Amino acid sequence: MSIKLHDVWAMPQAAITEARLLLTLGADPSCLYEDEYGQKVLLDRINNGSVCPKCASKFEEFLKYAGVIYEEMCEQTPINIVRGRKCSSGVLPLCLDGGGMRGLVSVVCLLFASKRIMGDESLVNYFDWLIGTSTGSMLALSTANGRTLSECFYLYWNMKRQIFLEGSTMSRNYSFTRPFGAALDEEQDVLFKDAARASSAAPTYFEPFAYQDRKFVDGSFVANYPLNILFKECDSFSKHNNRIKLAGVVSIGTGEPAQSERKYKSGTTLKAKAKNMAHVTTLILEQVVGQDLTAVEMAEERCHAHNIPFIRISPKGINVRIDQIDDGKLMDMIWTTLLWLVDNVHEVDKLAELLFKLLSNPDDRKPRSNTIL
């Protein structure tokens, strides 16, 4: 993969997207720094016109940060735990937010954390429960079905144009009149494809999914965060005298916008009304994918009240629509995610500390040099 990065960098028609993609999946960029190869090739491409000034700045930024990103992600000493061990002090859940194509943010966060903490892509195997809504359910089901995180990345990347089609409308009606059943539904054997379809029937994109005598819409449309589902499930068990002990709670988001500049005034002209209506539409979609952080704050407070470790990783500065399919804009989003992870690597290391505490042998829990702990 590193050799391919070397070759891609010199290709006259190669965009920055290809280089960023390879780095994200673990390509070693050191070849670009040997004898200033990367800088020399970039100058040649700028001079011959194969790289425009706007793109040149992205290539230069890549050279500036690629080495740091790779070092923080792939060149750390893995934590010392018994491989394959499960937590014995309680249930360890992994909650994966919804967010359409922003699910790539979650995949990249897990890839970065897994390679930094474990030295490979095995991180998700150490969680007892995988809880996801909408795009998070697809990621949870994919990993539970044995796909690696890299495979999940390609799954998202390759399927975007098959899922998010142009011209989607809100022309369908939905029924929410069915009452909820008992606190604990009877256990059912449900196919992975049916579970994924039921949790990802996002309004404006898909028809409600019918399973047996029930209709399902996007999981994040009626339950903004899988954290809510986690605690509802725990409460349901408690009501039936089968209390679940949580050893910790790990929540992976799909990113949060840096700031909002939307206005919700109606306006006086037709043009102004239409513009502000677009802001309201965006607000509704953000509620669908859960950018209101109240649920996260409540979950964190609940965990702290019960002395349950709570870890949340969700990069800031992600302002991409859930139905974005443009490769360049998606890769800009992924690049923003990588830079945030490098700047906030201590958040990832909190997860490493929790896993080390829960999964290591007591005799191994001593301070060690040259590790992330």
Helices 327-343 and 345-359 pack at an angle, to 10 degrees, of: 70
* Overall average pLDDT of the 236-264 stretch: 81
**Residue of 114, 177, 118 lying closest to 313 (CA atoms):** 114
User: In the chain, what percentage of residues exceed pLDDT 70?
Assistant: 70
Residue range 9-34, pLDDT digits in tens: 999 888 999 999 999 999 999 999 99
**134 in catalytic set:** yes
Cα→Cα distances 343→135, 170, 323, 371, Å: 26, 39, 27, 18
41, pLDDT greater than 90: yes
Structure tokens given for 188: 């059912």
Q: Cβ(355)–Cβ(320) under 8 Å?
A: no
Q: Which two tokens stand for residue 186?
A: 């009877």
Q: pLDDT per residue over 270-327, tens digit each?
A: 666 556 666 666 666 555 544 556 788 899 999 999 999 999 999 999 988 888 889 9
Q: What is the CA radius of gyration of the chain?
A: 22
> Could you tell me if 98 and 135 are in contact, meaning their C-beta atoms sit under 8 angstroms apart?
yes
- Residue 334 gets which letter from DSSP? H
| pLDDT tens digits for range 198-249 | 444 444 444 444 444 554 444 444 555 789 889 988 888 888 778 889 999 9
Q: Taking the CB of residue 279, how many other CB atoms lie within 10 A of it? A: 15
Per-residue pLDDT band for 328 (boundaries 50, 70, 90) equals very high
Alpha carbons 100 and 136: distance in angstroms, whole number: 9
* C-beta of residue 171 within 8 angstroms of C-beta of residue 214: no
Query: Backbone phi, then psi, for 131, in 5-degree steps?
Result: -120, 120
**Per-residue confidence at 93, pLDDT binned at 50, 70, 90?**
very high
d(CA 192, CA 141): 7
pLDDT tens, residue by residue, 118-136? 999 999 999 999 999 888 8
55 C-beta neighbours (distance < 10 Å), count: 15
Catalytic residue among 106, 114, 134, 199: 134
pLDDT for position 347: 96
H/E segment holding residue 129: strand 129-132
User: Each residue of 340-356: pLDDT tens digit?
Assistant: 999 999 999 999 999 99
Catalytic residue flag (residue 35): no
Q: What is the secondary structure of 274-327 as a DSSP string?
A: HHHHHHHHHHHHHHHHT--THHHHHHHHHHHHTT--EEEE--B-----TT---H
Rounded to whole angstroms, what are the CA distances from 127 to 26, 139, 251, 280, 346?
23, 14, 12, 38, 20
Please state, in angstroms and rounded to a whole number, the distance separating the CA atoms of residues 49 and 327. 22
Q: Is 125 exposed, middle or buried (0-12, 13-18, 19+ CB in 10 A)?
A: middle
Cα 260–chain centre separation: 21
What pLDDT score was predicted for residue 263? 53
Sheet architecture: strand order including 310-313: 129-132, 93-96, 249-252, 310-313
Residue in 97, 137, 200, 218 annotated catalytic: 218
Distance CA 184, CA 195 (A): 17
Terminal Cα distance for the chain, rounded? 29
pTM beyond cutoff 0.85: no
Q: Which of 1, 24, 3 lies closest to 157 in space, CA to CA? A: 24
Domains and their CATH numbers in the chain: 5-75 (no CATH), 93-165+192-359 (3.40.1090.10)
The answer to whether 129 touches 357, Cβ cutoff 8 Å, is no
**Looking at 146-292, which runs of residues are DSSP E strands?**
209-211, 214-216, 249-252
* Residue 285, pLDDT score: 55
Q: Which tokens sit at 121?
A: 């892509």
Whether residue 20 contacts residue 62, with contact meaning beta carbons closer than 8 Å, is answered with yes
Mean pLDDT, all residues of the chain: 80
